[in-house]
C-alpha cells in the first residue's frame, strides 16, 4: 500500500482517538475539581502542560483559567490538539484516502466533523458534559464501523496501530493528571476525597465498572494505577493497547511475534515486554510520574520509528 | 397543476413543447410531479441535497484558504433526452472524437493536415497548449484522447451545437453518477415506469479504457489516478473514480522515476506503475520539461512516457485541440480525415486573427460572445449583450492587441428546463456534457452532466460561476 495512504489511515485513527481522549481528559479534570476543596485555577495548567502546549497557551490566553483551557482544548482552531483541530485533521486525512476506507467510515468521520463544527460555531450554548459524551460515542461509532466494514488488511492494521498507540499515550496522561492534582494536597492521601478522585479517574477512562468487577473491589491508588497500566484485558490499559498495536505491526511485517527485523518491531516489543514483567510496586518505587514520563517518551520513539520504517521511503536516485 | 403557470417562454424548453404541453417522453414525470404537493417536492429536493452533502459530493472553492467545500447545487427536475435524439448525438460524438484523435496523432507526427494547408501552421505553433516535447510521440494503441467531456448546447430552434471539446481533464462525471443514485431514491416510481438508460457502467468502461493501454504481456498491470491533492476543486471526483475502479489514487509525491520506470512509494518499497489516469494539466506533469515550479508532477516522467514504459491518459499534448481557434477547424478535420460531413455542428465561430472576421467582431461586440482562445471554465469571456460599454471597449482593445487569442460567437439562446424556485418552477438555461471514452472502441455514456444556470436569466452554467446540475435521463429505444 502507498506509504502516504498508510500514514493517513494511521493518523486518521490517531486523531479520532485523540479527540475522544481530550474529551475524557477535560471531563476528569472538571470532575476532580468539583470535589476538590481547593478548586483552584492552577489545576487547569497540567492539562496544557502535559500536552506540551503551555507556551502556545500562554501566548494566546495568558493566565490558565478553566474557561481558557477548556476553550483551548475544545474549539480553538489554532490549538493543534483541540477537539476541533483533531476532527479537522481526521477528516482531512480521511478525505485523502476516501477510496481506501469504506464509505461508511467516511460518513462517520464526516458527520463527526460536522457535529464538532456546529458546536464550535456557538460554543456558549454547548453543554459540555453532553458534548463530551457525544464525542466519545462518535469515536466509538467510528471504531466500530471501521471494524465492521473495512477489510482487515494492511491499511486497517495501520489504523489499529494509530488508535492503540494514541490510546496508550492518553491513558498514561490521564493518570498523570491525577498526579498533578494530588500534589498540593498530600495530606488528603487515603481520605474519602482521595478515593472519590480515583473513582473519577477510573470513570473518565470508562474503567470504573470493569475495575470493580475484577476480583478485588476496594479502590486503592496502587490498584487503580495497576489496572490502567498493566491490566492485560481492559481495552484502555496501556499494556493491552501495546499488545494490540504490536500484533497489528507483526501482521503488517510478517515477522513472528517475539522476534524483530525492523527498529520499530524492536522498540515496540521491548516496551511491551517491559510492561509484561514489571509490577506496580516497581513502578511506585521509581515514582509514578517518572515512569509515565519515560513511557511517553518511549511511545514517541515508536511513533517516529514507524514513520521512518513505513512512511518516509528514501529513494536512491 | 404545479406546471399550470409554467411558461416555456421564447426558448426551446427540454420538457415542454408549449405551455401546458409536455413533450411525450416527459409526460410520466410531469404527471407525477403534478400529483405531489409543493411541500413534498421541496422536501425531496432537500433530502437529495442532504444526501449529496453527507456523501461529501462537493467541490472546493478556490481562493479560500480553508479549503471550503460546497455542494454543487442540485435540482431535482431532470432533463430528458429522447431516444432518437440521443442516437444522433452519440453518432456525432463518436465521429468527432475519432477525427480529433486522428488529428492529434497526425499533428504530433507527420503533420499532413498542416502540409495540406487545411489548418494554418502558425495557428498551431502559436497555441500555448501545443507541446513541442510531444512531437514524435506514439502513445499505446494510437489513442490520444481517452476521456472527453464534450459540452453541447441547444439554441432557440432546438438545434444542437458543440461548444467545447474538453480534451484535457474534463471533470463532472462523478456528479452524473451520484446525481443518478440520488434521483433513483427521489423519484423511484417514475424512474421505474420510464425505462431510462443506465449511466452506472461508466467506471467499468473507464477501467477497461485504461487497462487497454497497459502492455499486453502484463497479467496484473498497475493503474493509478493521479490527483493534485485534496485542495483541488475536483478532488472528490478523483477519489471517487479511483474508488469505483478499485485502483490507487496517487499524488505527485507518491511517485518517483527509478531505473527508467515510474514507481510509487509503498510500505513495502517501490512498485511499478503502468497506466496513469492523470487529473493534472500538461504544464504541471514534469517539472524538468514543463513548469519548473510545479510540485504536483513527477520529475523525469516525460522521459519514461516517451520511451513507452508508462501510459498516460489523456496523452500529453491533447490540450491543443481545446484551443478555441483550433476548435473552429474540427469540422474541417472531420472532412479531411474521414471524408464525411460532420453530424454535429460547431457554434459559428469568428476568428479574430483574420482581418475581415475581426472587423465584423468589433462592429458587433454588443451581440457576440468573445472568448479567450486558451481559457476555459467561463473565465476570460465577454457576453456582449450583457456587458457594459467599458467592458466592450476593454475587449476591443485586447482583440486588437492580440487577435490570435480571441474568437467570437453569436450569443445563443440556450435551451431551458423547469427548475424549482421556492414554491414554483421557472425555466433555467442548461448545457449538456456527455462523457466519451476511447478504448478498444468509442463509448458514449448515455446522458451526461446537465449544468444549469441557477441565477435568473443567466447563461453561465459553470460551477465556479453559480451554476448547478441536474440528472440527465436518456430514454431507451
The angle subtended at Cα B366 by Cα B363 and Cα B368, nearest 5°, is: 85
Q: What is the pLDDT of residue B67?
A: 47
Helices (H), B55-187: 83-107, 112-115, 121-125, 173-186
Q: What is the pLDDT of residue A316?
A: 53
pLDDT tens sequence across A285-314 = 888 889 999 999 999 999 999 999 998 876
Residues of B in contact with A248 (CB under 8 A): none
Kindly report each contact of residues B56-61 with a partner whose C-beta sits within 8 Å and lies 24 or more positions away, as own/partner.
B56/A95, B56/A98, B56/A106, B56/A110, B56/B236, B57/B174, B57/B175, B57/B178, B57/B236, B58/B236, B59/B233, B59/B234, B59/B236, B59/B463, B60/B231, B60/B232, B60/B233, B60/B235, B61/B233
pLDDT tens sequence across B402-423 = 999 999 999 999 999 999 988 8
Of B54, B55, B265, the CB nearest to A3: B265
Question: How sure is the predictor about B286, in pLDDT bands with cuts at 50, 70 and 90?
Answer: confident
- How far A238 CA sits from the closest chain B CA (Å)? 27
Is the pLDDT at A186 greater than 70, yes or no?
no
d(CA A136, CA A23): 7
Residues of A in contact with B254 (CB under 8 A): 2-4
Of A4, A95, A107, the CB nearest to B54: A107
Question: How sure is the predictor about B377, in pLDDT bands with cuts at 50, 70 and 90?
Answer: low
Mean pLDDT of chain A, nearest integer: 88
Name the grid cell of A305. Answer: 520509528
Residue B243 lies in a domain: no
d(CA A261, CA A242): 18
Question: What's the total number of domains in chain B?
Answer: 1
Q: How far apart are the first and last CA of chain B?
A: 29
Q: What is the pLDDT of residue B307?
A: 92
User: What is the arithmetic mean of pLDDT over B153-175?
Assistant: 92
Is the pLDDT at A178 greater than 80, yes or no?
no
What predicted TM-score, i.e. pTM, was given to this entire model?
0.84
Residue B387 lies in a domain: yes
pLDDT tens sequence across A119-165 = 999 988 889 889 999 999 999 999 999 999 999 999 999 999 999 99
Is the pLDDT at B64 greater than 80, yes or no?
no
**For chain B, how are helix, strand and coil distributed in percent, rounded to 5?**
35, 25, 40
In A, minimum Cα distance to B225 occurs at: A99
Residues of A in contact with B57 (CB under 8 A): none
Q: Which residues of A touch B (CB under 8 A)?
A: 1-6, 92, 95-100, 103, 106-107, 110-111, 154, 158, 252, 310-311, 313, 315-317
Contact criterion met (CB < 8 Å) for B240 and A252: no
Q: What is the CATH number of the domain that holds B397?
A: 3.30.1490.270
Residue B61 lies in a domain: no
B66 vs A: CB within 8 A:
no
Torsion angle, alpha carbons of A218, A224, A226, A227, to 10: 90
Q: Is A151 exposed, middle or buried (0-12, 13-18, 19+ CB in 10 A)?
A: exposed
Cis peptide bond N-terminal to B314, omega within 30: yes
Strands B406-410 and B368-372: antiparallel
- How far A4 CA sits from the closest chain B CA (Å)? 7
Longest dimension (CA), chain B: 70
Residue by residue, DSSP assigns A281-310 as: HHHHHH-HHHHHHHHHHHHHHHHHHHIIII
Residue B380 lies in a domain: yes
Residue B374 lies in a domain: yes
Q: What is the pLDDT of residue B63?
A: 47
Q: Is the dihedral of CA B468, B471, B474, B475 positive or negative?
A: negative
d(CA A303, CA A169): 11
CB pairs under 8 A between A and B: 61
Is the pLDDT at B427 greater than 50, yes or no?
yes
Q: Is the dihedral of CA B123, B124, B125, B129 positive or negative?
A: positive
Helices (H), B292-387: 301-306, 324-327, 330-333, 355-363
Q: Which domain holds residue B375?
A: 348-410
Mutate to test the interface with B, among A1, A2, A100 (most CBs of B within 10 A): A2
pLDDT tens sequence across A12-35 = 999 999 999 999 988 877 877 776
- How far B141 CA sits from the closest chain A CA (Å)? 29
Residue B228 lies in a domain: no
d(CA B92, CA B104): 18
Name the grid cell of B302. Answer: 516525460
Amino acid at each position: 500500500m502507498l506509504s502516504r495512504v498508510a500514514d493517513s489511515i494511521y493518523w486518521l485513527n490517531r486523531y479520532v482517538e485523540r479527540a475522544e481522549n481530550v474529551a475524557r481528559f477535560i471531563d476528569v479534570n472538571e470532575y476532580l475539581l468539583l470535589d476538590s476543596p481547593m478548586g483552584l485555577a492552577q489545576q487547569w495548567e497540567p492539562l496544557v502542560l502535559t500536552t506540551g502546549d503551555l507556551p502556545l497557551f500562554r501566548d494566546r490566553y495568558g493566565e490558565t483559567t478553566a474557561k481558557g483551557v477548556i476553550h483551548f482544548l475544545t474549539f480553538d482552531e489554532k490549538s493543534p490538539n483541540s477537539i476541533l483541530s483533531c476532527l479537522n485533521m481526521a477528516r482531512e486525512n480521511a478525505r485523502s484516502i476516501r477510496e481506501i476506507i469504506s464509505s461508511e467510515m467516511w460518513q462517520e468521520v464526516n458527520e463527526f466533523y460536522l457535529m464538532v463544527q456546529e458546536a464550535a460555531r456557538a460554543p456558549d450554548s454547548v453543554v459540555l458534559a453532553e458534548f463530551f459524551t457525544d464525542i466519545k460515542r462518535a469515536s466509538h461509532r467510528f471504531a466500530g464501523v471501521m471494524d465492521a466494514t473495512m477489510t482487515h488488511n494492511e491499511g486497517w492494521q495501520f489504523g489499529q496501530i494509530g488508535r492503540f498507540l494514541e490510546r496508550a499515550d492518553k491513558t498514561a496522561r490521564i493518570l498523570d493528571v491525577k498526579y498533578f492534582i494530588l500534589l498540593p494536597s498530600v495530606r488528603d492521601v487515603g481520605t474519602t476525597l482521595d478515593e472519590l478522585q480515583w473513582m473519577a479517574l477510573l470513570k473518565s477512562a470508562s474503567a470504573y465498572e470493569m475495575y470493580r468487577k475484577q476480583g478485588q473491589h476496594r479502590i486503592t491508588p496502587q490498584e487503580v494505577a495497576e489496572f490502567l497500566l498493566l491490566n492485560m484485558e481492559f481495552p484502555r490499559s496501556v499494556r493491552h493497547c501495546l499488545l494490540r498495536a504490536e500484533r497489528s505491526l507483526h501482521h503488517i511485517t510478517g515477522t513472528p511475534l517475539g522476534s524483530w527485523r525492523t527498529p520499530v518491531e524492536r522498540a515496540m516489543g521491548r516496551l511491551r515486554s517491559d510492561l509484561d514483567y514489571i509490577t506496580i510496586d516497581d513502578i511506585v518505587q521509581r515514582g509514578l510520574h517518572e515512569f509515565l514520563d519515560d513511557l511517553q517518551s518511549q511511545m514517541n520513539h515508536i511513533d517516529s520509528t514507524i514513520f521512518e520504517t513505513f512512511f518516509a521511503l528514501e529513494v536512491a536516485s | 397543476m404545479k406546471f399550470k403557470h409554467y411558461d416555456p417562454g421564447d426558448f426551446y424548453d427540454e420538457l415542454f413543447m408549449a405551455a401546458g404541453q409536455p413533450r411525450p417522453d416527459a409526460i410520466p414525470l410531469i404527471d407525477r410531479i403534478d400529483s405531489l404537493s409543493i411541500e413534498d417536492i421541496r422536501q425531496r429536493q432537500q433530502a437529495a441535497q442532504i444526501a449529496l452533502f453527507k456523501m461529501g459530493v462537493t467541490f472546493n472553492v478556490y481562493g479560500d484558504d480553508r479549503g471550503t467545500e460546497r455542494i454543487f447545487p442540485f435540482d431535482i427536475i431532470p432533463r430528458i433526452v429522447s431516444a432518437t435524439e440521443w442516437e444522433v448525438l452519440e453518432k456525432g460524438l463518436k465521429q468527432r472524437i475519432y477525427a480529433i484523435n486522428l488529428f492529434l496523432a497526425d499533428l504530433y507526427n507527420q503533420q499532413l493536415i498542416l502540409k495540406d494547408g487545411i489548418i494554418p501552421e502558425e495557428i498551431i505553433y502559436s497555441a500555448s497548449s501545443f507541446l513541442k516535447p510531444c512531437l514524435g510521440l506514439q502513445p499505446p494503441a494510437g489513442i490520444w484522447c481517452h476521456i472527453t467531456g464534450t459540452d453541447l448546447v441547444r439554441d432557440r430552434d432546438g438545434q444542437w451545437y458543440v461548444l467545447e471539446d474538453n480534451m484535457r481533464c474534463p471533470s463532472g462525471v462523478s456528479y452524473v453518477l451520484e446525481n443518478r443514485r440520488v434521483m433513483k431514491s427521489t423519484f423511484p416510481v417514475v424512474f421505474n415506469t420510464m425505462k431510462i438508460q443506465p449511466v452506472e457502467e461508466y467506471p467499468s468502461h473507464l477501467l477497461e479504457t485504461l487497462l487497454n493501454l497497459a502492455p499486453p504481456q502484463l497479467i496484473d498491470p498497475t493503474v493509478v489516478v493521479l490527483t493534485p491533492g485534496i485542495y483541488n476543486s475536483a478532488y472528490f471526483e478523483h477519489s471517487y473514480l479511483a474508488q469505483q475502479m478499485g485502483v490507487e489514487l496517487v499524488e505527485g509525491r507518491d511517485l518517483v522515476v527509478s531505473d527508467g520506470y515510474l514507481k510509487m512509494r509503498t510500505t513495502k518499497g517501490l512498485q511499478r506503475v503502468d497506466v496513469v489516469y492523470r487529473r493534472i494539466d500538461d504544464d504541471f506533469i514534469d517539472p524538468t520539461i514543463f513548469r519548473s515550479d510545479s510540485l504536483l508532477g513527477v520529475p523525469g516522467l516525460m522521459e519514461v512516457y516517451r520511451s513507452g514504459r508508462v501510459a498516460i491518459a489523456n496523452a500529453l499534448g491533447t490540450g491543443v485541440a481545446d484551443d478555441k481557434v483550433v476548435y473552429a477547424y474540427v469540422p474541417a478535420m472531420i472532412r479531411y480525415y474521414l471524408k464525411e460531413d460532420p453530424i454535429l455542428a460547431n457554434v459559428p465561430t469568428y476568428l479574430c486573427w483574420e482581418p475581415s472576421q475581426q472587423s465584423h467582431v468589433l462592429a458587433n461586440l454588443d451581440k457576440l460572445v468573445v472568448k479567450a482562445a486558451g481559457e476555459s471554465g467561463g473565465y476570460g469571456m465577454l457576453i456582449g449583450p450583457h456587458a457594459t460599454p467599458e467592458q466592450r471597449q476593454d475587449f476591443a482593445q485586447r482583440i486588437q492587441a492580440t487577435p490570435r487569442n480571441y474568437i467570437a460567437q453569436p450569443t445563443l439562446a440556450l435551451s431551458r428546463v423547469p427548475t424549482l424556485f421556492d414554491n414554483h418552477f421557472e425555466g433555467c438555461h442548461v448545457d449538456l456534457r456527455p462523457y466519451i471514452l476511447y478504448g478498444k472502441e468509442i463509448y458514449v455514456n448515455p446522458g451526461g452532466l446537465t449544468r444549469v444556470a441557477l441565477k435568473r436569466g443567466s447563461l453561465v452554467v459553470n460551477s465556479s460561476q453559480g451554476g448547478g446540475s441536474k440528472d440527465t435521463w436518456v430514454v431507451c429505444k
